[in-house]
Amino acid sequence: MKTIIVGGVAGGMSAATRLRRLDESAEIVVYEQGPYVSFANCGLPYFIGGVITDRSQLLLQTPASLGKRFNLDVRVNSRVVSIDPAAKTVTVRNTETGEETLDTYDSLVLSPGAKPRQLDIPGFDRALTLRNVPDADAIADAVNVRDNQNVVILGAGFIGIEVAENLVHAGHAVTIVQSQGQILPQFDPEMVEVFHKHLSNHGVTIILGSHATAITDAGVKLSTGDTIPADVVVSSVGVVPDHILAVEAGLRIGDAGGIWVDEHQRTSDPDIYAVGDAAEKTSIATGDPSMIWLANLANRHGRLVADVIAGESVTARPSIGTGIIGAFGMAAAVTGVTEAQAKRAKLAHSVIHLHPGSHAGYYPGSETLAIKVVFHPTSGRLLGAQAVGKDGADKRVDVIATAIYAGLTIDDLMNLELAYAPQFGSAKDAINQAGYVGNNVRDGRTPTVQWHEVDERREQGAIILDVRTDAENAAGSIPDALLIPVDELRSRMDEIPTDREVIVHCKVGQRGHTATQILRAHGINALNLDGGYLTWNSGTDARSRTTTPTH
* pLDDT tens per residue across span 356-386: 999 999 999 999 999 999 999 999 999 999 9
Task: Provide the CA 442 distance to its chain's centre, in angstroms.
Answer: 27
Average pLDDT rounded to a whole number, residues 148-175: 96
Average pLDDT rounded to a whole number, residues 78-107: 98
Superfamily of domain 323-442: FAD/NAD(P)-binding domain (3.50.50.60)
Enumerate the β-bridge partners of residue 464.
Answer: 503
Q: What rounded mean pLDDT belongs to the chain?
A: 95
- The pLDDT confidence band at residue 60, using thresholds 50, 70 and 90, is confident
DSSP strand pairing (219-222 vs 212-216): antiparallel
pLDDT over threshold 70, residue 549: no
The percent of the chain in helix, strand and coil, each rounded to the nearest 5, is: 35, 25, 40
pLDDT tens profile 296-328: 999 999 999 999 999 999 999 999 999 999 999
pLDDT over threshold 90, residue 146: no
Classify residue 420 as exposed, middle or buried by CB count within 10 Å of its CB (0-12, 13-18, 19+). Answer: middle
User: Which parts of 390-460 are beta strand (E)?
Assistant: 448-449
Give the start-to-end residue ranges of the domains of the chain.
Answer: 2-115+240-309, 124-237, 323-442, 448-543
Average pLDDT rounded to a whole number, residues 161-165: 97
Average pLDDT rounded to a whole number, residues 127-140: 94
Radius of gyration for the alpha carbons in the chain, expressed in angstroms and rounded: 26
Average pLDDT rounded to a whole number, residues 216-239: 95
pLDDT of residue 546: 59
What is 448-543's CATH number? 3.40.250.10
pLDDT tens profile 2-43: 999 999 989 999 999 999 999 999 999 999 999 999 888 899
For residue 343, which amino acid is it?
Answer: K
Average pLDDT rounded to a whole number, residues 166-195: 96
Rounded to 10 degrees, the C-alpha dihedral 47/49/52/53 comes to: 100
Model pTM? 0.94
Average pLDDT rounded to a whole number, residues 270-276: 97
Give the separation between CA 143 and CA 97, rounded to whole angstroms. Answer: 31
pLDDT of residue 545: 82
* Catalytic site includes residue 506: yes
Give the separation between CA 12 and CA 539, rounded to whole angstroms. Answer: 42
Q: Which residue has the higher pLDDT, 248 or 218?
A: 248
What is 124-237's CATH number? 3.50.50.60
pLDDT over threshold 80, residue 548: no
Residues 6+ apart with CB under 8 A from 313: none
Give the separation between CA 216 and CA 122, rounded to whole angstroms. Answer: 8
Give the separation between CA 113 and CA 110, rounded to whole angstroms. Answer: 9
Quick count: other Cβ atoms within 10 Å of Cβ 59? 16
CB 12 within 8 A of CB 302: yes
Annotated catalytic residue, options 127, 333, 449, 506: 506
- The pLDDT confidence band at residue 547, using thresholds 50, 70 and 90, is very low
Tell me whether domains 323-442 and 448-543 share a fold: no
- The pLDDT confidence band at residue 87, using thresholds 50, 70 and 90, is very high
Give the separation between CA 452 and CA 539, rounded to whole angstroms. Answer: 7
Superfamily of domain 2-115+240-309: FAD/NAD(P)-binding domain (3.50.50.60)
Residues 6+ apart with CB under 8 A from 404: 284, 285, 320, 335, 336, 382, 383, 384
Rounded to whole angstroms, what are the CA distances from 159 to 166, 494, 498? 11, 55, 52
